[in-house]
Structure formats: structure tokens, C-alpha cells
Homo-oligomer: A and B are copies of this chain.
């Protein structure tokens, strides 16, 4: 296939845009969103500062796109595990395991995505994606109720609550260790989060009712 000049130009533009996004993601993964400046991105991408502005109106807009791309990946991992075939409780455990293990492994990026104080534009994306996570968990909880594995409960409340548990229980450990090489006791932490969530959604006829 022969590319016409405009196609070549478009491809070059897209490649440059991707290069900017890659450089930005690397900055976020090592220093958080606070490490992203147009100057640093331009330097790392090996282009002029003005060239960055040809693709992104502002640092905030660039950060929001980096946030969306990175979060889509994490969301896909949760979706794959949570909505796979199988017993709902096992799917819940697997989704928590996969999300948490990735967050602990890439802790600087995970902290940036989940909790780092950022500007309004990224914060708005965070709210949107928390709803996307909640929608996945709601389907999982509904499956569990329908199959009889989980007791009757308000699935939408449990779903939002699960999103809260998973992110909030990781924020502390990720914050403390975001800047250091200190190992989190990964296995213990993930098991505690799993146990909390499983008790919360899967327990039937508990002693206290």
C-alpha cells in the first residue's frame, strides 16, 4: 500500500504523540504526576518544548491522558478476573490479587493513579474510573447473589464499597513505600484485603444478625 502524503503526516504525528505519552508515563512511573513538566517530557522524548504543545494544550491535559491510558490497563485486568467464568468468590479473590499485586509491583505508578494529589482534571478522571471499577464489581456481586453463593445485599453499595476497600487499603502501604525500596509484606497485605472483602460480600447468616 502506498501512503499518500497526508497519511504519512498523520502517521508521523501519531508516532510523535505516542512518544510524548511514553515519556510522560515513564516520568509518572518513577516520580509521580508531580514529576511531569512539559520541559521534562520534551527532554525525555528528545523534542522541543513547543512540539509537546502541538499535541497537548496543557500539562493537565497530558496528565489526564496518561492517567486514562494507564488506568484502562488496570481496569482490563480487573475485568478479566472479575467477570471470567467460575465461582464468584474465586473471581473476587483473583481480581483483588491481580490488581493488588500489580499495584505493589509498580507501586510508584499505582500510588500516582490511586492517591497522589493531582489537579482537578486528573481527579475528575479518577471519579469516572472508580465508577467503571464499581460497575465491574456490581456485576460480580449480582452473579454471586443470583447463583446463591452470596447472600442478598445491595449490590451497588457492596460494589462501591469494594472499590473503596481495595484502593484505600493499598494507599497507606503504597504511600509509605512509594519513595523507598522497602518491601511491603505483599502476601500478608493482599490476603488481609481478600479476607476483608470476602467476609463482607460472601458471608451468609453471620452470628451477629
Q: Are the CB atoms of B118 and A123 closer together than 8 Å?
A: yes
Residues of B within 8 A of A208 (CB): 89, 198, 202-203
Q: How far is the CA of A168 from the CA of B169 in the complex (A)?
A: 12
A134 within 8 A of B: yes
Residues of B within 8 A of A197 (CB): 200
Chain A window 156-182, contacts with chain B (Cβ cutoff 8 Å), 1 for yes, 0 for no: 111011011111110110010000000
Residues of B within 8 A of A189 (CB): 154, 157
Count of chain A residues with Cβ under 8 Å from any Cβ of B? 48
Chain A window 74-86, contacts with chain B (Cβ cutoff 8 Å), 1 for yes, 0 for no: 0000000000000
A193 within 8 A of B: yes
Copy number in the complex reads: 2
Nearest CB in chain B: distance from A197 CB, A: 7
Q: Are the CB atoms of B120 and A118 closer together than 8 Å?
A: yes
Within 8 A of B (CB), among A83-122: 89, 115, 117-121
Of the candidate stretches A18-26, A44-52, A124-132, the one touching chain B is A124-132
Partner of A171, one of B123, B130, B154, B207: B130
Q: Which 8 A-B pairs have the closest CB atoms?
A: A164-B168, A164-B164, A117-B123, A200-B200, A157-B192, A154-B192, A161-B165, A117-B120
